[in-house]
């Protein structure tokens, strides 16, 4: 059996520094082993220790310049709980909207600047030449709506810097950021989110201005769903459903709190969690096993057997506020102890830790992301349009000039729970979640107007400074489920832990050798690009990783056997 090792580090078109090392069975053209490595330590959790609790919101947002808003929201909710400061209903809505507008920007960015170039004409034409020839005559089913006659037309317009879709996406990202900045004061790194609420007070005029900008995005989002369905249908017809496949083990913390139910109290967390417009839950083996935020949060564990950290002593938080047992390797008990050593693929090989989820005594490797959000929300039947097998929702009628009539009409969409987890379904879920959160945002904008008209304009409640308290903030970012955990002692942060969605997905093997989601998705992935082993550049590998939208690097060195390449498909 022939083997080929490809080591790509760092992977391009992402933030931070991520590498993957795969071993390929060259006869079967399939990945047989994989390692995911994060090659940078930043230490935000150590920076937080000893600080005034509200500082955590400002500091933790600097974890990421692409998705600071969910960090602000997760941190604020952890501090709402720890400092006993539930925000007023209008503040809850404004936080929700800020998070939604970031998704409108973030998912557009992913589809056209981060993952999209892998499916554009320059890449497909070079690495999958027979596919591209077929694409030239492959009729786009929804071409009369999105305006592209063939799949090759779509691929050409997705080309970086020159394609119309690529260029249009930049303008729409700007509009989404304008909406966000009207609430946040600035972007990136929001200036208005605080424990107990938000420091922005909208007027009727400002709210209407916000709605005007938001409505300009709606025809574009409708168009992108139709376009994505055509492109993904082409990939599926060419066997791409086998790329990036892994078990349907998924985790979502949910998002978009109900303004009248969210009270930030730990003892009520299950109740207000179930009222979220994006439902929290965990799917194991394709089956929904829980929607309880307390159960989800208490099941989180973090392992460092294959990471550049030392084990910790077990912590001192034995119970949660309800008397439930808190495990020694739960985030409330975790200590961040860096231990840099030489990289060893059989031992320690990543600065990323290994988060896992424990349910009824069994440890599970779970994946975070839009697919998890859509799957849980569709399966749970807790929001309007959730059928148990699908999620139905609509986008409103608009009157935008120079837009096709079908795109200005009210449009109903339905996303179906897929039969498998793979690259295609991750991309499909991301574009549908973009549309779903736009649907949620529209309803919340109408609620904001209603609150202002009724004079319910309070946006902040004062917080306390307890001698000892615990807090947890769980929400959804573009890439999946971010969680913030805080322990406050004597009015200061004693312990602060953050587990990001890329931390979950990029995790190395854990203490029992279980692979992380990236690694699981790569093993078994077929190599479908043209040519033989000597010419493979790893396109199917990076497509798998980018389908989960990693937040770790930019610039690449790739090792192929005894050769080193300082590039990877420069597009």
Three-state secondary structure string covering 226-237: HHHHHHHHHHHH
> What is residue 40's predicted lDDT score, i.e. its pLDDT?
80
pLDDT in tens, 310-352: 999 888 999 999 999 999 999 999 999 999 999 999 999 999 9
Domain ranges of the chain: 3-565
Beta-carbon contacts of 122 under 8 Å, excluding residues fewer than 6 positions away, are 159, 160, 571
Name 5's bridge partners.
23
Task: Give me the mean pLDDT over the 215-241 stretch.
Answer: 96
Q: What are the structure tokens assigned to 479, written together?
A: 């890439």
> What is residue 552's predicted lDDT score, i.e. its pLDDT?
63
Query: Taking all residues of the chain, what is their mean pLDDT, rounded to a whole number?
Result: 94
CA-nearest of 454, 413, 452 to 434 is: 413
Q: Could you tell me the fold of the domain covering 3-565?
A: Cytochrome-c3 Hydrogenase; chain B (1.10.645)
Q: What are the structure tokens assigned to 181, written together?
A: 């900045």
Longest dimension (CA), the chain: 73
**Cis peptide bond upstream of 188, omega within 30:** yes
Beta-carbon contacts of 506 under 8 Å, excluding residues fewer than 6 positions away, are 18, 36, 38, 350, 352, 516, 517, 518, 550, 552
> What is residue 555's predicted lDDT score, i.e. its pLDDT?
26
Q: How many angstroms separate the CA atoms of 248 and 436, rounded?
A: 21
Say whether pLDDT at 1 is over 80.
Answer: no
DSSP at 110: I
Task: Give me the mean pLDDT over the 11-20 stretch.
Answer: 85
Say whether pLDDT at 544 is over 60.
Answer: yes
pLDDT in tens, 427-486: 999 999 999 999 999 999 999 999 999 999 999 999 998 999 999 999 999 999 999 999
How far lies 204's CA from each of 139, 179, 211, 263, 456, in Å? 46, 15, 11, 26, 12
What's the pTM? 0.95
Q: How many angstroms separate the CA atoms of 184 and 191, rounded?
A: 6
Say whether pLDDT at 567 is over 80.
Answer: no
């Amino acid at each position: 059996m022939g083997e080929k090792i490809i080591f790509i580090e760092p992977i391009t078109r992402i933030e931070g520094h991520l590498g993957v090392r795969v071993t390929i069975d060259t006869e079967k053209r399939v990945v047989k082993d994989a390692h995911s490595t994060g090659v940078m330590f930043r230490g935000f959790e150590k920076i937080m220790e000893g600080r005034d609790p509200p500082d955590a919101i400002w500091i933790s947002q600097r974890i990421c310049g692409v998705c600071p808003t969910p960090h602000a929201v997760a941190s604020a909710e952890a501090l709402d709980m720890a400092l006993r400061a539930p925000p007023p209903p209008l503040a809850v809505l404004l936080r929700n909207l800020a998070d939604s507008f970031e998704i409108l920007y973030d998912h557009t960015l992913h589809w056209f600047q981060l993952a999209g170039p892998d499916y554009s004409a320059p890449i497909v034409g070079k690495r999958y030449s027979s596919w591209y020839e077929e694409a030239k005559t492959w009729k786009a089913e929804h071409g009369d709506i999105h305006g592209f006659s063939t799949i090759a037309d779509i691929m050409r317009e997705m080309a970086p810097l020159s394609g119309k879709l690529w260029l249009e996406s930049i303008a729409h990202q700007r509009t989404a950021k304008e909406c966000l900045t009207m609430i946040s004061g600035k972007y990136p790194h929001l200036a208005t989110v605080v424990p107990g609420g938000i420091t922005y007070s909208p007027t009727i005029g400002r709210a209407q201005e916000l709605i005007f900008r938001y409505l300009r995005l709606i025809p574009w989002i409708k168009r992108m769903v139709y376009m994505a369905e055509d492109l993904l249908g082409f990939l599926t017809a060419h066997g791409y459903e086998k790329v990036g496949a892994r078990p349907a083990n998924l985790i979502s913390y949910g998002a978009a709190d109900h303004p009248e139910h969210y009270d930030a109290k730990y003892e009520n967390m299950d109740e207000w969690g179930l009222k979220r417009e994006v439902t929290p839950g965990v799917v194991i083996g394709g089956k929904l096993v829980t929607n309880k935020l307390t159960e989800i949060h208490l099941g989180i564990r973090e392992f460092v057997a294959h990471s550049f950290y030392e084990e910790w002593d077990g912590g001192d938080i034995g119970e949660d506020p309800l008397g439930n047992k808190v495990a020694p390797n739960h985030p409330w008990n975790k200590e961040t102890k860096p231990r840099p050593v030489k990289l060893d693929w059989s031992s320690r090989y990543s600065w990323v830790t290994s988060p896992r989820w424990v349910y009824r005594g069994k440890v599970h490797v779970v994946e975070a992301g839009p697919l998890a959000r859509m799957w849980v929300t569709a399966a749970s039947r807790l929001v309007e349009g959730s059928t148990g097998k699908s999620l139905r929702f609509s986008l409103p009628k608009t009157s935008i000039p120079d837009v096709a009539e079908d795109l200005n009409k009210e449009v109903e969409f339905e996303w179906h729970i897929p039969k498998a987890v793979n690259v295609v379904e991750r991309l499909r879920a991301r574009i549908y979640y973009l549309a779903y959160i736009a649907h949620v945002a529209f309803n919340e904008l109408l609620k904001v107007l209603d609150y202002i008209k009724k004079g319910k304009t309070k946006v902040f409640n004062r917080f306390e400074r307890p001698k000892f308290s615990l807090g947890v903030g769980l929400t959804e970012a573009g890439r999946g489920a971010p969680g913030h955990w805080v322990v406050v002692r004597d009015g200061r942060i004693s312990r602060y832990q953050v587990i990001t969605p890329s931390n979950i997905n990029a995790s190395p093997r854990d203490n029992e050798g279980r692979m992380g989601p990236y690694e699981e998705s790569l093993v078994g992935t077929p190599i479908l690009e043209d040519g033989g082993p000597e010419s493979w550049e790893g396109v199917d590998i990076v497509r798998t990783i980018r389908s989960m939208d990693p937040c770790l690097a930019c610039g690449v060195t790739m090792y192929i056997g005894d050769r080193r390449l300082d590039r990877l498909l420069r597009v």
